[in-house]
């Protein structure tokens, strides 16, 4: 029976594609291996159900397709069977949901020793901010955003003076330390997305959102925007560079703080004005 | 169980409906154009929906050309790509599928299947169509206004939807889009009230709720849901229109645009998302439930077997309808809403999987020990099960909050929702058209063309959307006209994208065969007769085919049994119409 055969081939083909095709997720670079595990588990359970249902259908088509003299059975209900199937499904669903919720609990519980960093999205670029020596990020306000103060820090907030501001460069992070990423946007929704970290979250103007993760592999990773933010959404790129502690510190030394940047700008302006007179 | 099967009482007198209740058209105009006959309105809805659907199909070609062969087609730039996805998504979901299932199939089938002469408010029903048409005209107009249609994505998320960084955001595109949606909802409400009241009030004698065909149950429940869900979209659209046109700040926080501080402040972008998805998630089932109902009837009829577990099927439809109002925020797991919501919405979402799975089991169990006629409608029904199961199962990934985190906003999501609410319902639409075309026109659609159309569409669509999951799994975001340079997408993925695009073009082209078949069979198709499939439901028992105005001649039919008396032991034929009085044969083995 051609129809039955094709149905069966669709099921088998899907499984073979899954197992043999080269297209799979990128190697992970964060602590969220549990997420990958939950996806794998879900693939196994749902894959088995898919094959079972389609194979059963194919068998029915093969076995019961119309022939001269065939008459269908008359069987309106079968309570026992229906209950068994319901209970079986509930068990399967619970087997996926339970680990999922456990991992979600970890995902939303930020470790106390996580260090905070800030990512800011803007049509269509990324900026970053790292706390200075005081370990604290200063307050900010979108009303302060200007070309002199791209992240909108409050000039009066002492905690913000030593914050490291990275306006158009890459973000560097030390390996092995939990990071809480605070997310902000000045204009529209964006989403800070690094496929290798598995985590992502929207950035919402007027609010601060967050997620946390621990980098587990050194290297350079693409940052993409995963929430439609206008015409150049697909071109909104940057990089995260995960380094060993020593290299990271060396890089950090070279970055400029908010105070240095605004000081510089003030000096620049002053020089300009002097020379212009 | 036996209580829903058949009456032993033969002493019910038929109901005569006095003629004055129906409006009788007096001219060509009131017969075919400003018609108040639900059957004509159904055809108007269906033709309009399919026409605008063709626009969405062409847009999908353009998008696939760009994705499969980035950089080759210079006439598609990034902002056009966004306009294409937006219009394609919006048209497919609302103006095609919602309109076709409820306005098209609902209008045609509800009165006939419940044994009514027409909808209860024919005039309002007519208005419903004309307002829908107006909504479509306004939608199409956005292609021609300065700035073009909106490119905000079909979800229209603010702030970007009404700002200048998005195509149409500070021009006419978004305004007309919102206006069109508002019109659509007004028109739908008029039709929707009709469908609900007709099912509740105008059923013929003997047609108890638990004897209604599942098609009617599906459309009825979907309509109730739509009447409850669309108001959320309505208020969201009105508020956004005010934000855009009058500068209010319902959804707009303090923000800067391109270095300028805007006058907005204090609004909440997340509020819009909640309103949108309070509508948007039920919308998925507004499309799915009619499909569930229709496909149940297709399977039962063409397998010559009663639907398995009818009462479970009804309760599953109702349960899904109710539950789908408490899962909306599964679309917002990474929106920045409070993380505790994740626990609640993941749980409710996965619970819905249970009644949904029951439906699947009952469809395949209906095939078991059936007498399966592999007609074109049956083939489409089988394809529906395959694609729906596939798409439903990937829903378990995206519903399980933490699994959604890496997958959300990638092509995995695009693949998932196309499989489950694009391909699967469309399979049912095709199956239903092949099934009811003979009743609507009196002629059969050509079988050979139908089978060709089926195989290319089913296998082609599967080839488009199955591999697409893996593109998403690799991390390719959605709504990207071009992924460009990355370190994580291998070159081979571009070949896969090209393959998907070629498959999409072929699937699209096969629809021309279908359109040709529709037109050709109208004149050249085989004469169908009144009941070519040997079906039990009332629409196949009308005195004329196509059914005349008023549907039933002088007397309304009386219903003695449920809709699924196929292959009843002892019956002379392998089906017993719902209006066939008991007697002549004994119902044996009714208790299985
Ligand atoms: C041959 C058939 C179809 C093809 C090839 C196709 C292709 C596409 C493509 C390429 C996208 C854009 C993906 C992206 O870059 O984000 C898209 C988006 C979409 N499609 Fe389809 N599609 C088809 C049929 C349908 C159907 C039947 C529906 C009905 C539910 C549908 C609903 C949508 C929606 C809602 C979107 C999302 C738009 C957005 O992101 O705002 N499509 N489709
Ligand atoms: Cu973006
Ligand atoms: Cu949903």
What are B371-423's pLDDT values in tens digits?
999 999 999 999 999 999 999 999 999 999 999 999 999 999 999 999 999 99
**3-class DSSP assignment, residue B579:** coil
The confidence score (pLDDT) of residue B2 equals: 38
Residues of A in Cβ contact (< 8 Å) with B569: 74
Nearest to B99 by CA among B429, B321, B391: B429
Q: Is the pLDDT of residue B8 over 80?
A: no
A55 to chain B, any CB pair closer than 8 A? The answer is no
Number of H helices, E strands in chain B: 17, 2
Q: What is the reported pTM?
A: 0.94
Token pair recorded at residue A34: 């549990």
What CA–CA distance (Å, rounded) separates A197 from B406?
8
Ligand 1 pocket residue status of B86, Cβ below 6 Å: yes
The confidence score (pLDDT) of residue A270 equals: 58
Torsion of CA B232, B237, B243, B246, to 10 degrees: -120
Q: How far is CA B79 from the centre of its chain?
A: 29
Ligand 1 pocket residue status of B426, Cβ below 6 Å: yes
**3-class DSSP assignment, residue B410:** strand
Asked if residues A188 and A229 have their Cβ atoms less than 8 Å apart, the reply is yes
User: Do B346 and A97 make contact, defined as CB atoms within 8 angstroms?
Assistant: yes
A4 to chain B, any CB pair closer than 8 A? The answer is no
How is B440-479 classified by DSSP, letter by letter? HHSBPPPHHHHHHHHHHHHHHHHHHHHHHHHHHHTTPBSS
What CA–CA distance (Å, rounded) separates A79 from B547?
39
Compute the distance from residue A256 Cα to the ligand 3 centre, in Å.
45
Q: Is B50 exposed, middle or buried (0-12, 13-18, 19+ CB in 10 A)?
A: buried
User: Do A85 and B361 make contact, defined as CB atoms within 8 angstroms?
Assistant: yes
Ligand 1 pocket residue status of B413, Cβ below 6 Å: no
Least confident of A145-149, B193-197, B227-231: A145-149
According to DSSP, the residues that pair with B555 across neighbouring strands are: B16
Q: Which atom of ligand 1 is nearest to the CA of B481?
A: 15
Torsion of CA B48, B52, B54, B57, to 10 degrees: -150
The tens digit of pLDDT for each residue in B232-273 reads 999 999 999 999 999 999 999 999 998 889 999 999 999 999
Q: Is the pLDDT of residue B281 over 70?
A: yes
For A165, phi and psi rounded to 5 degrees? -110, 125
Compute the distance from residue A106 Cα to the ligand 3 centre, in Å.
24
For B386, phi and psi rounded to 5 degrees? -60, -50
Q: Is the pLDDT of residue B577 over 90?
A: yes
**3-class DSSP assignment, residue B575:** strand
* CATH 1.20.210.10 domain position(s) in chain B: 42-249, 286-454+508-528
A134 contact partners, CB below 8 Å, separation of at least 6: A159, A162
Give the residue carrying structure tokens 């995963």: A226
User: Do B389 and A49 make contact, defined as CB atoms within 8 angstroms?
Assistant: yes
The confidence score (pLDDT) of residue B175 equals: 97
Give the residue ranges of chain A where pLDDT is below 50: 276-277
The tens digit of pLDDT for each residue in B144-177 reads 999 999 999 999 999 999 999 999 999 999 999 9
User: Do A60 and B403 make contact, defined as CB atoms within 8 angstroms?
Assistant: no
Residues of A in Cβ contact (< 8 Å) with B589: 74
What CA–CA distance (Å, rounded) separates B74 from B81?
11
Q: Which atom of ligand 1 is nearest to the CA of B86?
A: 41
Q: How many CB atoms lie within 10 A of CB B524?
A: 9
The confidence score (pLDDT) of residue A268 equals: 59
| Residue in B386, B405, B479 closest to A199 by CB | B405
Q: Is the pLDDT of residue B3 over 50?
A: no
The number of the ligand nearest the C-alpha atom of A192 reads: 2
Average pLDDT over residues B350-354: 93
Token pair recorded at residue B225: 């849901």
What CA–CA distance (Å, rounded) separates B520 from B529?
18
Chain B, nearest residue to A142 by Cα = B255
User: Do B369 and A224 make contact, defined as CB atoms within 8 angstroms?
Assistant: no
The number of the ligand nearest the C-alpha atom of B480 reads: 1
Average pLDDT over residues B563-576: 92
What CA–CA distance (Å, rounded) separates A263 from B240?
42
DSSP H helical segments within B69-121, as ranges? 78-90, 107-114
The confidence score (pLDDT) of residue B516 equals: 97
CATH topology classification for A115-273: Immunoglobulin-like (2.60.40)
User: Do A75 and B308 make contact, defined as CB atoms within 8 angstroms?
Assistant: yes
Q: Is the pLDDT of residue B120 over 90?
A: yes
The half-sphere exposure of B221 on its side-chain side, counting CA atoms within 13 A, is 31
User: Do A71 and B306 make contact, defined as CB atoms within 8 angstroms?
Assistant: no
CATH topology classification for B42-249: Cytochrome C Oxidase; Chain A (1.20.210)
CA distance B146 to chain A (A): 17
What CA–CA distance (Å, rounded) separates B392 from A90?
15
Q: Mean pLDDT for chain B?
A: 92
What CA–CA distance (Å, rounded) separates A258 from A129?
9
The number of the ligand nearest the C-alpha atom of B427 reads: 1
Residues of A in Cβ contact (< 8 Å) with B273: none
A194 to chain B, any CB pair closer than 8 A? The answer is no
Asked if residues B526 and B443 have their Cβ atoms less than 8 Å apart, the reply is yes
The confidence score (pLDDT) of residue B590 equals: 36
The confidence score (pLDDT) of residue B592 equals: 28
What CA–CA distance (Å, rounded) separates B465 from B447?
27
Q: What angle do CA B355, B356, B362 make, to 5 degrees?
A: 90
| Residue in B310, B339, B493 closest to A76 by CB | B310
Q: Residue B591 — very low, low, confident or very high, per pLDDT cuts 50/70/90? A: very low
**3-class DSSP assignment, residue B566:** strand
Token pair recorded at residue B109: 């089938």
Asked if residues B68 and B497 have their Cβ atoms less than 8 Å apart, the reply is yes
Nearest to B84 by CA among B162, B36, B154, B23: B154
Chain B, nearest residue to A203 by Cα = B336
The confidence score (pLDDT) of residue B4 equals: 45
Q: Residue B462 — very low, low, confident or very high, per pLDDT cuts 50/70/90? A: very high
As residues whose CB is below 5 A from the ion ligand 2, the structure lists A 190, 225, 229, 233
Nearest to B120 by CA among B212, B201, B177: B201
Q: Is the pLDDT of residue B317 over 50?
A: yes
User: Do B487 and A75 make contact, defined as CB atoms within 8 angstroms?
Assistant: no
Asked if residues B113 and B215 have their Cβ atoms less than 8 Å apart, the reply is yes
How is chain A classified by DSSP, letter by letter? -HHHHHHHHHHHHHHHHHHH-S--PPPP-BSTHHHHHHHHHHHHHHHHHHHHHHHHHHHHHHHHB--TT---------HHHHHHHHHHHHHHHHHHHHHHHHHHHHHH---TTPEEEEEEEETTEEEEEE--TTS-PPPB-GGG-SSSSTT-B-TT-HHHHT-EEESSS-EEEETTS-EEEEEEESSS-EEEE-GGG--EEEE-TTS-EEEEE-B-S-EEEEEEE-S--STTGGG--EEEEEE-HHHHHHHHHHSPBHHHHHHHHHHHHHHHHHHH-
Closest CA to ligand 1's atom 23: B60
Token pair recorded at residue B49: 């929906």
Ligand 1 pocket residue status of B457, Cβ below 6 Å: no
Q: Residue B28 — very low, low, confident or very high, per pLDDT cuts 50/70/90? A: confident
Buried b (16+ CB within 10 A) or exposed e, B454-467: bbbbbbbbbbbbbb
- Superfamily of B286-454+508-528 according to CATH: Cytochrome c oxidase-like, subunit I domain (1.20.210.10)
CA distance A275 to chain B (A): 28
Compute the distance from residue B498 Cα to the ligand 1 centre, in Å.
16
Nearest to B576 by CA among B557, B590, B556, B561: B561
Average pLDDT over residues B268-288: 96
According to DSSP, the residues that pair with A224 across neighbouring strands are: A193
User: Do A107 and B364 make contact, defined as CB atoms within 8 angstroms?
Assistant: no
Nearest to B359 by CA among B285, B431, B415, B283: B285
Contact map slice: A 105-134 vs B, CB within 8 A = 105, 107-108, 123-124
Compute the distance from residue B350 Cα to the ligand 3 centre, in Å.
11
Average pLDDT over residues B112-126: 95
Compute the distance from residue B514 Cα to the ligand 3 centre, in Å.
31
CA distance A147 to chain B (A): 8
Residues of A in Cβ contact (< 8 Å) with B257: 123, 187
Q: What angle do CA B421, B422, B423 make, to 5 degrees?
A: 110
What CA–CA distance (Å, rounded) separates B51 from B60?
15
User: Do B467 and A21 make contact, defined as CB atoms within 8 angstroms?
Assistant: yes
Three-state SS annotation for B255-314: CEECCEECCCCCCCHHHHHHHHHHHHHHHHHHHHHHHHHHHHHHHHHHCCCCCCCHHHHH
Token pair recorded at residue A87: 């209970």
Average pLDDT over residues B127-150: 97
What CA–CA distance (Å, rounded) separates A141 from A152?
5
Q: Is B349 exposed, middle or buried (0-12, 13-18, 19+ CB in 10 A)?
A: buried
Q: Tell me how far CA of residue B52 lies from CA of B46, B137, B152, B199, B518, in angstroms.
A: 10, 10, 20, 29, 17
Q: Residue B429 — very low, low, confident or very high, per pLDDT cuts 50/70/90? A: very high
ipTM of the predicted structure?
A: 0.94
Compute the distance from residue A236 Cα to the ligand 2 centre, in Å.
7
CA distance B17 to chain A (A): 34
Chain B, nearest residue to A143 by Cα = B261
What CA–CA distance (Å, rounded) separates B587 from B592?
12
How is B32-78 classified by DSSP, letter by letter? IIS---HHHHHHHHHHHHHHHHHHHHHHHHHHHHHHHSTTT-TT--H
Measured N-to-C along each axis, helices B376-399 and B447-473 cross at an angle, to the nearest 10 degrees, of 10
User: Do B372 and A60 make contact, defined as CB atoms within 8 angstroms?
Assistant: yes
The confidence score (pLDDT) of residue B536 equals: 96
Compute the distance from residue B382 Cα to the ligand 1 centre, in Å.
23
For A243, phi and psi rounded to 5 degrees? -130, 165
């Amino acid at each position: 029976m051609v129809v039955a055969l094709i149905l069966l081939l669709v099921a088998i083909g899907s499984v073979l594609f899954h197992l043999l095709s080269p297209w799979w997720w990128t190697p992970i670079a964060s602590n969220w291996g549990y997420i990958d595990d939950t996806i794998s588990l879900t693939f196994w359970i749902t894959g088995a159900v898919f094959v079972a249902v389609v194979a059963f259908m194919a068998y029915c088509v093969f076995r019961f397709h119309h022939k001269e003299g065939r008459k269908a059975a008359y069987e309106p209900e079968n309570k026992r069977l229906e209950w068994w199937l319901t209970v079986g499904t509930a068990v399967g669903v619970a087997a996926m949901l339970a680990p999922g919720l456990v991992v979600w609990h970890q995902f939303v519980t930020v470790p106390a020793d996580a260090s905070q960093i800030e990512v800011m999205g803007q049509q269509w670029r990324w900026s970053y901010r790292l706390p200075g020596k005081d370990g604290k990020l200063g307050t900010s306000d979108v009303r302060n955003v200007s070309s002199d103060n791209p992240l909108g820090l409050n000039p009066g907030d002492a905690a913000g003076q030593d914050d490291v501001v990275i306006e158009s460069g890459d973000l560097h992070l030390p390996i092995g330390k939990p990071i809480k990423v605070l997310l902000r946007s000045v204009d529209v929704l964006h989403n800070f997305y690094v496929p290798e970290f598995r985590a992502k979250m929207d950035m919402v103007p007027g609010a601060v959102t967050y997620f946390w993760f621990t980098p587990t592999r050194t290297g350079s990773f693409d940052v993409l925007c995963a929430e439609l933010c206008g015409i150049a959404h697909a071109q909104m790129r940057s990089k995260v560079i995960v380094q060993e502690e020593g290299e990271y510190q060396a890089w950090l030394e070279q970055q400029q703080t908010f105070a240095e940047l605004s000081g510089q700008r003030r000096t620049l302006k002053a020089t300009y004005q002097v020379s212009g007179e | 169980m036996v209580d829903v099967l058949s009456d032993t009482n033969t002493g019910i007198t038929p109901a005569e409906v006095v003629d004055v209740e129906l409006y009788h058209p007096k001219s060509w105009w009131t017969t075919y154009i400003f018609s108040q006959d639900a059957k004509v309105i159904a055809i108007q809805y269906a033709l309009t929906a399919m026409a605008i659907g063709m626009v969405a199909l062409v847009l999908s070609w353009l998008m696939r050309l760009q994705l499969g062969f980035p950089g080759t087609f210079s006439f598609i730039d990034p902002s056009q790509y966004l306009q294409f996805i937006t219009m394609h998504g919006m048209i497919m979901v609302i103006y095609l599928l919602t309109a076709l299932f409820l306005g098209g199939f609902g209008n045609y089938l509800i009165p006939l299947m419940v044994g009514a002469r027409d909808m209860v408010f024919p005039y309002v029903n007519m208005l419903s169509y004309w307002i829908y048409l107006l909504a479509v005209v306004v939608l199409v107009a956005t292609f021609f206004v300065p700035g073009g249609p909106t490119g905000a994505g079909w979800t229209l998320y603010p702030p970007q939807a009404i700002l200048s960084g998005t195509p149409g955001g500070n021009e006419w595109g978004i305004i007309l889009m919102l206006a069109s949606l508002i019109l659509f909802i007004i028109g739908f409400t008029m039709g929707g009230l009709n469908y609900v009241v007709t099912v509740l009030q105008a059923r013929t004698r003997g047609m108890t709720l638990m004897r209604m065909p599942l098609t009617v149950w599906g459309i009825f429940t979907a309509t109730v849901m739509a009447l409850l869900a669309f108001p959320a979209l309505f208020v969201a659209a009105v508020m956004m229109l005010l934000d855009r046109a009058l500068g209010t700040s319902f959804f707009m926080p303090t923000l800067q645009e391109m270095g300028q501080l805007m006058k907005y402040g204090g609004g909440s972008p997340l509020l819009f998302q909640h309103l949108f998805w309070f509508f948007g998630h039920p919308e998925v089932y507004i499309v799915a439930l009619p499909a569930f109902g229709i496909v149940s009837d297709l399977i039962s009829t063409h397998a010559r077997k009663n639907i398995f577990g009818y009462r479970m099927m009804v309760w599953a439809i109702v349960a899904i309808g109710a539950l789908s109002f408490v899962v909306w925020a599964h679309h917002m797991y990474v929106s920045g809403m409070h993380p505790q919501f994740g626990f609640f919405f993941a749980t409710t979402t996965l619970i819905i999987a249970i009644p949904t799975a029951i439906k699947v089991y009952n469809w395949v169990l209906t095939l078991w020990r059936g007498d399966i006629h592999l007609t074109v409608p049956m083939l489409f029904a089988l394809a529906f099960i395959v694609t729906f199961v596939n798409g439903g199962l990937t829903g378990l990934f995206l519903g399980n909050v933490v699994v959604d985190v890496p997958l959300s906003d990638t092509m995995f999501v695009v693949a998932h929702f196309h499989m489950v609410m694009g391909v699967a319902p469309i399979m049912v639409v095709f199956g239903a058209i092949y099934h009811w075309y003979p009743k609507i026109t009196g002629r059969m659609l050509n079988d050979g063309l139908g089978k060709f159309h089926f195989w290319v569409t089913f296998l082609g669509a599967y080839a488009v959307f199955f591999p697409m999951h893996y593109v998403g799994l690799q991390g390719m975001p959605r709504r990207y006209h071009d992924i460009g340079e990355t370190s994580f997408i291998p070159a081979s993925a571009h070949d896969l994208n090209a393959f998907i695009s070629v498959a999409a073009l072929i699937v699209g082209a096969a629809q021309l065969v279908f359109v040709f078949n529709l037109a050709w069979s109208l004149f050249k198709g085989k004469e169908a007769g009144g009941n070519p499939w040997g079906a039990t439901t009332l629409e196949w028992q009308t005195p004329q085919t196509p059914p005349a105005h008023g549907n039933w001649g002088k007397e309304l039919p009386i219903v003695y049994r449920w809709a699924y008396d196929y292959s009843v032991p002892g019956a002379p034929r392998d089906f017993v119409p719902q209006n066939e009085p008991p007697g002549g044969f004994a119902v044996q083995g009714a208790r299985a």
